């Protein structure tokens, strides 16, 4: 069981390792519309790990499990359609939207399993296996957000360079153009 938790944690770290925007990217992070969505998609992975750890312990902490389930559901819905409370814009990028739809389908199945685990009707192993599958799909969604941000950053930097050479006003103030 501890191996599964370690595997989920490693997947979380590897899946999110490319998201760290440096302070020199400030202009980009304030302009990229999905930056907060991207950060909260990463936090979804943390919630999956938290639920996994809760199930992996000898005594299931129902309070943590319920709170994590509720937050995961709200943020997941916000990632696709937007949510003012979490300042989520929702995405219109087809690949990300499709992946989030897959995550939502898996999450709906997992919610039923987790509810049965809470009432001791289902073995914890089935719930843990479902969370691991969910983690893989969520990692793929985070990777797509990262790729989108990277493309945005490249386009912004290129636009800024071209604008500087043409003598027009730059679209973004970049600190790291060399």
Tell me which of 32-46, 105-119, 122-136, 164-178 is least confident.
164-178
State both tokens at 138.
Answer: 């969520």
Tell me which of 10-19, 58-67, 128-137, 151-160 is least confident.
10-19
- The domain locations on the chain are 2-166
CA-to-CA separations, 3 to 6, 37, 106, 166, in angstroms, rounded: 5, 30, 22, 56
Residue-wise pLDDT tens digits, 124-153: 888 999 999 999 999 999 999 999 888 888
Give the span between the Cα atoms of 90 and 81, in whole angstroms. 5
Give the span between the Cα atoms of 10 and 8, in whole angstroms. 5
Instruction: pLDDT band for 21, please (50, 70, 90 cuts).
Output: very low
Residue-wise pLDDT tens digits, 63-100: 888 999 999 999 999 999 998 998 999 988 999 999 99
For 110-168, give the DSSP string.
HHHHHHHHHTT-S-HHHHHHHHHHHHHHHHHHHHHHHHHHHHHHHHHHHHHHHHHHHTS
Treating both helix axes as pointing N-terminal to C-terminal, what angle do 124-166 and 94-118 enclose, rounded to 10 degrees? 160
């Amino acid at each position: 069981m501890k191996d599964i938790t370690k595997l989920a944690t490693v997947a979380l770290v590897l899946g999110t390792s490319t998201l760290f925007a440096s302070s020199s990217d400030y202009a980009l992070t304030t302009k990229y519309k999905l930056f907060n969505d991207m950060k909260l998609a990463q936090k979804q992975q943390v919630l999956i790990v938290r639920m996994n750890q809760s199930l992996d312990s000898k005594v299931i902490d129902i309070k943590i499990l319920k709170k994590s389930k509720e937050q995961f559901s709200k943020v997941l819905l916000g990632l696709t359609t937007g949510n003012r409370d979490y300042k989520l814009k929702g995405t219109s990028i087809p690949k990300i939207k499709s992946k989030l739809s897959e995550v939502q389908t898996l999450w709906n199945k997992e919610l039923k399993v987790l509810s049965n685990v809470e009432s001791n009707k289902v073995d914890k192993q089935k719930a843990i296996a479902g969370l691991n599958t969910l983690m893989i799909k969520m990692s793929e969604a985070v990777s797509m957000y990262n790729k989108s941000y990277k493309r945005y950053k490249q386009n912004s930097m290129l636009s800024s360079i071209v604008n500087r050479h043409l003598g027009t006003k730059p679209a973004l103030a970049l600190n790291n153009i060399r």
